[in-house]
Amino acid sequence: MWSVLVVIVLLHLCGVCAQLQASTNVTCFPGSNWMINSMGQIPCLVVAYLSADCAGTSWMVAALTDSLTQSYTFPTPDTATKCRCNTVAYNLISACTVCQGHAASPWSEWSQNCPAQITTVGSYPLPVPSQTAIPGWAYWDPTPSGTFDALAAHSFTPLASQSSHSKSHVGAIVGGVVGGIAGLALVAGFLWWLFRRRNAKRAAANHPNMSQVTLNVKPLKPYDPNDPSTFPTTPTDNRPASRATTVPRILVATRPVGYSGPAEV
């Protein structure tokens, strides 16, 4: 039973610590440093992490060719997930396009296969993977203009709730790791205590503690002439009774005592 608990805790730790596989071979042009997030990642790598989170597999954002009209493929009905059907992912992939000297595609083209119930504007709907961080400018809303505007995004200041949301998942991951380690320590401590207790019981069975032996001795009462229970008792002779010995009586015939001489006249 306890081994099952240990396995569960280990699986929990492995699940928390599982690393997403995301990569990119893009090199942004000079002047795009404002697009880099707090972890030193360009927007191409950030959006790759977000996409891999929903895809459940590795994700790579490849560099565009020399054609200035080329852009990244918008989500298909099969890849239209919450990770991609939002303006944050659109801004990131658009910035990745712009930093290579290409023109970004409009929001309407990017979101054309996204169901309305999973499309999010101005925020990211899921916890952010711990391997990345969303830069503040990515929360800029491109829907009024219909397309990504690098100058507007660069000057955008996100709300405190938007910028803190990107950090909330990091705290959850750290808390999960710490909680898993604490749970594993508790299980190990309980197993150690159970082992010690079992050994103590075995030792007690083999070597009984004489100090725990109790004698059924009634306490003595002081002598009280009004309390018969305090009177001294006569020791009882428990020796077997001997058979009575009958001494035979010896009968001796006696003559009456009197005068024995001749009769007096």
Looking at the domain assignment, is residue 196 inside a domain? Answer: no
Alpha-carbon span 91 to 123, nearest angstrom: 11
Looking at the domain assignment, is residue 130 inside a domain? Answer: yes
pLDDT class of 201 with cuts at 50, 70, 90: confident
Looking at the domain assignment, is residue 207 inside a domain? Answer: no
Residue 35 pLDDT more than 60? yes
Looking at the domain assignment, is residue 229 inside a domain? Answer: no
The secondary structure element, H or E, covering residue 199 is: helix 160-206
- The answer to which of 34-43, 140-149, 254-263 has the lowest mean pLDDT is 254-263
Query: Which residues lie below 8 Å from residue 94, measured CB to CB, with a gap of 6+?
Result: 104, 105, 142, 147, 148
Looking at the domain assignment, is residue 145 inside a domain? Answer: yes
Q: Averaged over 7-26, what is the pLDDT?
A: 64
pTM over 0.75: no
Query: Which residues lie below 8 Å from residue 13, measured CB to CB, with a gap of 6+?
Result: 177, 180, 181, 184
Higher pLDDT pick, 13 / 191: 191
CA-nearest of 49, 31, 112, 44 to 72 is: 44
Q: What is the pLDDT of residue 7?
A: 45
Alpha-carbon span 87 to 84, nearest angstrom: 8
Q: pLDDT by residue (tens digit) across 105-142?
A: 999 999 999 999 999 999 999 999 999 999 999 999 99
Looking at the domain assignment, is residue 180 inside a domain? Answer: no
Q: Which domain holds residue 128?
A: 20-175
Tally the domains of the chain: 1
Higher pLDDT pick, 103 / 159: 103
Q: Averaged over 149-168, what is the pLDDT?
A: 72
First-to-last CA distance in the chain?
135
Looking at the domain assignment, is residue 146 inside a domain? Answer: yes
Looking at the domain assignment, is residue 82 inside a domain? Answer: yes
Alpha-carbon span 92 to 139, nearest angstrom: 9
